[in-house]
Amino acid sequence: MRIRFFNARVLTMEPGKDIFVGEVWVVEDRIKFAGTEEEALKYCDTHKEEILIWDREIDCKGNLLMPGFKDAHTHSAMTLMRSAADDLPLQDWLNNAIFPIEAKMTGEDIYHLSKIAVLEYLTSGITSIFEMYLTPFTVAQAMADTGMRCVQTSCVNNFSQSVELLEQYYNEINGKDPYNSFILGVHAEYTCSKELLEKCAELTHKYKAPFWAHIQETDKETKECIERYGMTPIEFFDSLGLFDYGGGGYHLVWTNDKDREIMKKRGVYAVTNPGSNTKLASGIAPIKEYLEKGITVAIGTDGPASNNCLDMFREMFLVTGLAKLRNNDASSVDAKEVLKMATVNGARAMGLNDCDYLSEGKKADIIMLDLSRPNMQPINNIEKNIVYSGSKENVLMTMIEGIIRYENGKFNIGVEPSDLYSKAEEIKKRIYG
């Protein structure tokens, strides 16, 4: 497919490059050109040997094209538990409302429930997700079938999956199709024995690969690890060599100066999940401290049972808003830095270096935001408007791998939303009785 976008405002997210009015050309899965109208004319003059015939030309009418958002931590199939597991602290929520239901879910259930999450990602302008759930093969199939770019990691723990399965996922999902990849990881320190983690460390060294996990989400989790090992989870993981090739952690609410020194030294990414951490009263992550230390921060929604929505606009606002409250400083964590977290940093954390900018040669994972809506008027500072006043209503289009998967309220994922909703109701009735 060859698509020409014209009459667009373009935000490439490249350092030092301001928003400009111009064109973006997509050929198959890549961006062929992104520049001003004058640069487009010059390109045509200097490349007369190229036949620029378009399958579709889209007048953007002054609306904004930018790289899609990267949801750097989620559990898609937890759509099943949305608003059915609420108003509980984390450990009660997990042990009494989540784990018993997950024990009844099949791989086929997870396949269908993940597709409902895809619909929501698309309406939020999310073009890539960093997924962690129970049946990676059926998740990968759901993402390939719907055209959602997905990086998975494992929720290996003492009770489900295994290090052997982790290696199988790593070898069989990576390279299978353009939509799916896999990174080594486990659920969390508190659900994994030392012996299991030592085996995981052997695997990270075997493949010279980064390592990911839920880390220091709650004060309780952090203190219990100190009681067990005399170290925080970050220190403990590092002592086992799990971060020797980098990696990252989800949540990272309760870190101290020593933890952050380790994170900086090892190149450990911090993925913050403010909506989930707020709802579960887990705490406010020290975002300002991470930025001051030079630690790269990305943003995730967490799953639709703990959030309960998959909305990057809300997450972006919470990242900066909660940081301002935590630090008692209204200038803390600038909105432009937050936008970078939601796009460029998320791509880098997920190993998607071809999806960070909207520029020539990069993957065509692009969204169009409607600037004519009341919440974007008058146009003063578009980047800050996205973070402080933007919402899902502004998402006109979501393109992944050069294919438009959502446009003007219509989905292109190979299945009708109504069929997915009916399937989810069947699964809900069977599991919840």
Distance in angstroms (rounded) separating the CA atoms of residues 372 and 366: 19
The proportion of the chain whose per-residue pLDDT surpasses 90, expressed as a percent, equals 96
Residue 131's nearest CA partner among 119, 123, 139 is 139
3 state DSSP class of 97? helix
Mean pLDDT of 303-310: 96
Q: Is the pLDDT score of 152 beyond 90?
A: yes
Instruction: Concatenate the DSSP letters of all residues of 7-67 into one string.
Output: EEEE----TT---EEEEEEEETTEEEEEEEHHHHHHHHHH-TTS----SEEEE-TTPEEEE
Average pLDDT over residues 141-164: 96
| Same-fold call for 2-67+362-411 versus 69-349 | no
Phi first, then psi: what are they for 64, rounded to 5°?
-100, 130
Alpha carbon distance 77, 98 (integer Å): 12
- Dihedral angle at the C-alpha atoms of 346, 71, 267, 204, nearest 10 degrees? -120
Where does the pLDDT of residue 91 fall: very low under 50, low under 70, confident under 90, or very high at 90 and above?
Answer: confident
Tokens encoding 116:
């409902």
Average pLDDT across the chain, whole number: 97
How would residue 285 be classed by pLDDT, with cut points 50, 70 and 90?
very high
CA distance 132 to 73: 8
CA 373 to chain centre: 26
pLDDT surpassing 90 at residue 264: yes
For residue 59, the one-letter residue type is: D
C-beta of residue 317 within 8 angstroms of C-beta of residue 395: no
* Residue 31, helix vs strand vs coil: strand
pTM exceeding 0.95? yes
Q: In the predicted model, is pLDDT for residue 51 greater than 80?
A: no
Query: Running DSSP on this structure, what letter comes out for residue 344?
Result: I
pLDDT tens per residue, range 167-219: 999 999 999 999 999 999 999 999 999 999 999 999 999 999 999 999 999 99
Q: pLDDT of 369-389, one tens digit each?
A: 999 999 999 999 999 999 999
On whether the CB atoms of residues 348 and 342 are closer than 8 A, the answer is no
CA angle 166, 205, 300 (to 5 degrees): 55
Tens of pLDDT, residues 325-346: 999 999 999 999 999 999 999 9
Domain 69-349, second-level architecture: Alpha-Beta Barrel (3.20)
Specify the pLDDT at position 358.
98
- Type of residue found at 360: E
Q: How far is residue 353's CA from residue 176's CA, in Å, rounded to a whole number?
A: 18
Pair 122, 64: CB distance under 8 Å: no
Query: CATH for 2-67+362-411, among 2.30.40.10, 3.50.50.60, 2.60.120.560, 3.40.50.620?
Result: 2.30.40.10
Whole-number Cα distances in Å, 129 to 48, 201, 312, 347 = 39, 25, 11, 9
| 87 C-beta neighbours (distance < 10 Å), count | 10
- Give yes or no for a contact between 287 and 261, defined as CB atoms under 8 angstroms apart: no
Q: Residue 48: pLDDT above 90?
A: no
> Where are the domains positioned within the chain?
2-67+362-411, 69-349
Residue 150 has pLDDT above 90, yes or no: yes
CA–CA dist 213, 126 (Å, integer):
22
User: 396, 408 in Cβ contact below 8 A?
Assistant: yes
Task: Round the CA-based radius of gyration of the chain to a whole number and report it.
Answer: 21
